[in-house]
Structure 1
C-alpha cells in the first residue's frame, strides 16, 4: 500500500483512520501497531494515536495479554445496517437464501470497485471445505470468477484497473494474457465465469452478472464450493442456478431485458 501520509485530501486524519480499519479488516486477525505502521507507511506513533481513538469509539479493542488490536462487531453492524437498506441487497438476499438451500453451496453477492470486486453479502452453508472469504473482502479481477465477469461486462475502467494490478505483480505471478482473454471472452459469450482454485485453494466459484434498471452491469452473484463439488468444468445445474439467480435479481432491480 502506498504511503497515505502523502495524500492531498483536506482531512488526512479521516483518511488515515479508515486506512487502518481497512488494513485490519484485510488481515482478519489481531494486529500489532508495528505491523500496521509498516503496511500503511505511517509512523508508529501516529498509528497508535488513531488506534487509541478507534478504541474509545468502540470500533477496535486491544487484547491486554498480547497488546494486539482487533476490530469489534460495531463496524460490522454498521455495515450490515447500510447493506440492509440498499435495493441491491434487499432484492438479492431472498434469492441467495433460496439458491443456497436448493443447491447446498455458499452464495455471495459482490459489487465492482476500482481495484476489484467487493463481497458485500454471503449466505453460507456448512461444508468440509471452509469458505473463508468475508463480507468486505476485495477479490482481484484476474483471479476470481467475479472479476472475470466484471472484465467481460463492465466498462473500460476495469481493463485499466487490470493493467495496473498486473503491472504491480512479479512477471512469474502474472497470468498468461491469452488464457485470461479466453476467460473474459467466455464470460461475455456464455454469461458466467469460473475460477477453480484461483482465489482460494480447494475452492471453485461460478459467477454471473447482475444488471440494473438501465441495463448496466452492477453486481455478481456467485456460487462457491469445493472443487470436488464444483468442477473446473461445472455441472449444468450450477451454471443454470447462477445465471437464473442473476436474471431474477436483475428483474427485481428493474432490468426489463437481460442482455443474455
Structure 2
C-alpha cells in the first residue's frame, strides 16, 4: 500500500520514524531545512514532526544554533530491549530445568514501577492450568513475584502499593498493609516469597530474586501450581530448586556474589 492510501496516523508515524532514522544517519545536529531536503518532505511537515519528537523527549534543540539532535532516550530504550533479550536468553535454559525438576510451570518476570511484568513462561502439563500470560502485569501485594520485588527492589516500589487501593482477587487476598509489610520482611529474610490463593483459589506461587552484575534486582523466577504441589510452606527441595535457578541466572548475568 502506498503512503497516500495509508491512514493519516500511520503515515505520520512512519514519517516520525523516518526523521529519527535520518537524524541517526546524519550523526550530528541538523537544521530543519537540511533534514527536510534529506527526507524529501516539506519543511513545515518536518518541523511538525521535530516539534512532536521534542515534546516526547526524543529530540532536543540547541537554543543558539536552532539545530536538532537525538537525545539519549532512544539509547535507553534500546538498552532496555537488549537487557531483556539477554535476560530471556540466559533464563530460558534455567526455566526449562526448573520445570523438569519441579513439574510445575516456571515464570520469568521483570520489575516495573507499577508491578511485575511476566516476560516468559515455561508451562507444565497439569490439571490446574495457570492462566497468566506473557505481558501480564502482576500487582505487588498479591503475587509472589511482587513480594520479592518489594523485599529486594527499590524502596520506591512501596509508593505504588501505598498509593492505590489494593485489589482483592480472592477471599484470601491480603489487603492489609501491616500484614503485607510483615510478609515482605519474612521474604527478605528467607530469600523467597509465596502468595497462596492470593490471585487464584487453590493456587500458590514460589518466587526468588534475580540480580544483575551490580547486584540490583532486575527480575524474578517463579514456580506456580496447585497448593497440593506448591504448598503455602514449600518443601525444602522445591525452595532449593527455585533458588538454584535464580542464582544460576544471576551468575550468568554477571552477579558474582548472590545477595541472598
TM-score grouping bracket, smaller chain normalisation: 0.5 to 0.7
The answer as to whether partners of 2:109 and 2:220 remain within 8 angstroms in 1 is yes
Shift of 1:158: 0.5
Q: Which residue of 2 aligns with 1:114?
A: 113
> 2 CA distance for matches of 1:197 and 1:107?
17
Q: Which residue of 2 aligns with 1:30?
A: none
> 2 CA distance for matches of 1:167 and 1:197?
15
5 Å matches for 1:179-218? 179-218=179-218
Change (3 A) 1:258 1:162: same
Deviations 1:155-209 (A, max 9, x none): 122111111233788xx98622222111100111111000001022221000000
> 2 CA distance for matches of 1:85 and 1:217?
13
> 2 CA distance for matches of 1:159 and 1:103?
32
> 2 CA distance for matches of 1:174 and 1:122?
25
Deviations 1:200-221 (A, max 9, x none): 2221000000000111000000
Superposition CA RMSD, Å: 2.3
> 2 CA distance for matches of 1:168 and 1:221?
23
How many residues were matched structurally?
Answer: 179
5 Å matches for 1:158-197? 158-166=157-165, 175-197=175-197
Normalising by the residue count of structure 1, what TM-score does the alignment of the two structures yield? 0.65
5 Å matches for 1:94-105? 94-105=93-104
Query: What SS class does the counterpart of residue 205 from structure 2 fall into?
Result: strand
> 2 CA distance for matches of 1:124 and 1:210?
20
Q: Which residue of 2 aligns with 1:92?
A: 91
Q: Which residue of 2 aligns with 1:141?
A: 140
Q: Which residue of 2 aligns with 1:59?
A: none
Change (3 A) 1:126 1:180: same
Q: Which residue of 2 aligns with 1:228?
A: 228
5 Å matches for 1:237-248? 237-248=237-248
The answer as to whether partners of 1:143 and 1:198 remain within 8 angstroms in 2 is yes
Q: Of the two, which has the highest radius of gyration?
A: 2
> 1 CA distance for matches of 2:137 and 2:184?
19
Runs of 4+ in structure 1 deviating by more than 2 angstroms, as ranges, are 82-85, 165-169
Q: Which residue of 1 aligns with 2:251?
A: 251
